[in-house]
Structure 1
Amino acid sequence: MMPGLFVLLWSTGFIGGKLGLPYAEPITFLVVRFAIVTVLLAGFAGLTSAPWPKSWAAIGHIAVAGMLLHATYLGGVFTAMYLGVPSGVVAVIAGIQPLLVAAAAGPLLGEQISRRQWLGLLLGLAGVLLVVWSKLDIGIGSPLGYGLAVLGLFGITIGTVYQKKFCPGLDLRSGNAIQYAVCVVALAPFALLFENRIIVWHEEFLFALGWLCIVLSLGAISLLFLLIRRGAAAQVSSLFFLVPPCTALVAYFLFDERLGWLALLGMALTMLGVALVNRK
């Protein structure tokens, strides 16, 4: 059940961002989120006597992976949406991630990507493009926003491979606490220099903040790390192809966003592609 639950939880991240960003600037939003999660995880690690890394090298690898997976990816994605890049376009850009991971997994991790898996990855990308096609609005957003979305894409791509290679035994309690703490320190100067740091504590913002802290930063990230530990990087990354279709379903029920036949065809292609990549 872990892959399905991961896709469902991860898909709600765009929904949480959509609810919360009108009330806080993106980096300020993320700093507050990461700080809360750091305190929760550090306290939980202490209460459960979680093991902590025994060397500075291990801490360094954990910190680098966290910077890529959390600060770079979420910082790029949230700021891109804040600058007006449509969430559908961001989803298309992020949808390229499994292809990049598959290309890097061979030389860096020694994973063999078969022709069938490459076909599945390409089908997954085609499905993502079809699902979000109706949401693409040419001319909306700024060049900086699109550049930050691409930065986020490379952050989560490199972070997935890096985590698999250098942090295979990461403890989900202490390791995640270190990663989020590092991200707070790294992102806080950007909030101080480039944002006004004003937060409107509206009930929608509080709900989005709570959801992103508990469900995404604790639940979905922990599932992602478990999947990376247990499976091949290319197989785990192929699950990200299911995120835009699943997000579209959630948006349908929450915001009454309709799905046309093109989107349904894209969802079918995506599921077929993921099946080809993960099939034994």
Structure 2
Amino acid sequence: MNLLLAVAFVLCWSSGFIGAKLGAGSADAVTVLMWRFLPLALVLGAVAVTRARAAWRGLTARDALRQCVIGALSQSGYLLTVYYAIQLGVSSGTTALIDGTQPLVAGALAGPLLRSHVSGRQWLGLCLGVTGVLVVTSADAAAAQGVEPWAYGVPFLGMLSLVAATFLESRSRTVVAPSVAMTIHCATSAVVFTALAVAAGAAVPPAETSFWVAVGWLVVLATFGGYGLYWLVLRRSGVMRVNTLMFLMAPVTAVWGAIMFGEPFGPSTAVGLAVALLAVVVVRGGAARTALGNNSGDVPARRADNGTWV
């Protein structure tokens, strides 16, 4: 995996937690999400009609419906739970911690669902990653005041939603262009969040400048950057490799939060960051050697039926 691509993915995905905190101070979660996706869906739809028609050729109704389901899981379900968790008082670091358990869940399910081998080195990296994320966020979670215990289950549901979307995409035999997939996903989310905002009486955006700053932040960094790179890295490297990078989200979010919001950054955060980085090195090192062994000489990698590259 290209190092710059991996770094960009981690930073852009982490920016979503920061953007959610920015938006939570000025409007309801569904209001922020509606105005994040409604104009974005309109722009992407216009581009699809005027300039990207070729990418849509051959897309069947079944493929489009599958992408709608993937979008509802990976965007609508995932983001709604993250935003509401932060709105309920769960800190961005703790939310990132719960989301950080996604690779462990995906790793445990990779064998039976994708019929792929999960090596001992990969399990070691996964365990190290979880340890690093726990160290980074445990102090923040212990210091939380006034947060209902059930609120911590909200981002957990979002994590499961993203895991389901990842496996649904990985098991697909049809390769859909990233631009097409993003357009369908954003259109699906725009419909979902607009309906929820209208039903809740929260469709009218606030007049505060901070609200539109948060919306712009989320569209550019989190959607085009984080979400777009997520599927790009997934298709190039597979479920195990991309999910290993998810371990870095909590420590990166903690550092970012300390810089932007003055959140505490102590020795435990530094130790957790080091352990998470070690986890990435362990898993990527093993994956690199496996790839060299399977693709010696001039034999190129091929795409497996389950959507991963081998």
TM-score, normalization by structure 1:
0.93
Instruction: Choose the corresponding residue for 1:121, options 123, 126, 132.
Output: 126
CA contact (8 A) 1:37 1:218 kept: no
The residue number in structure 2 matching 1:7 is 10
Count of paired positions: 280
RMSD of the alignment, in Å?
Answer: 1.8
In 2, Cα distance between equivalents of 1:87 and 1:258: 12
The residue number in structure 2 matching 1:200 is 206
Instruction: Choose the corresponding residue for 1:30, options 10, 25, 33.
Output: 33
CA contact (8 A) 1:50 1:174 kept: no
Bigger radius of gyration: 2
Are 1:72 and 2:73 matched, yes or no?
Answer: no
1:191–1:147 CA distance, 2 compared to 1 (3 A): farther
Matched to 2:85, the amino acid is A
- Identity, in percent, stands at 33
CA contact (8 A) 1:168 1:229 kept: no
Instruction: Choose the corresponding residue for 2:169, options 158, 163, 167.
Output: 163
Deviations along 1:118-147, one digit per CA (max 9) or x if unpaired, are 011011011001111221135532355323
In 1, Cα distance between equivalents of 2:96 and 2:201: 25
Compute the displacement of 1:257 (Å): 2.9
Provide the secondary structure at the position in 2 that maps to 1:274.
Answer: helix
CA contact (8 A) 1:111 1:232 kept: no
Matched to 2:255, the amino acid is L
Matched to 2:169, the amino acid is Q
4+ residue segments displaced more than 6 Å = none
Provide the secondary structure at the position in 1 that maps to 2:178.
Answer: coil
TM-score, normalization by structure 2:
0.85
The residue number in structure 2 matching 1:103 is 108
Are 1:19 and 2:22 matched, yes or no?
Answer: yes
Compute the displacement of 1:205 (Å): 1.4
Structure 2, unmatched stretches of 5+, are: 289-310
CA contact (8 A) 2:93 2:253 kept: no
Deviations along 1:168-200, one digit per CA (max 9) or x if unpaired, are 622122221111111222233322333533432
1:169–1:140 CA distance, 2 compared to 1 (3 A): farther
CA contact (8 A) 1:81 1:145 kept: no
Compute the displacement of 1:50 (Å): 4.2
In 2, Cα distance between equivalents of 1:257 and 1:196: 30
Structure 1, unmatched stretches of 5+, are: none
The residue number in structure 2 matching 1:92 is 97
Compute the displacement of 1:16 (Å): 0.8
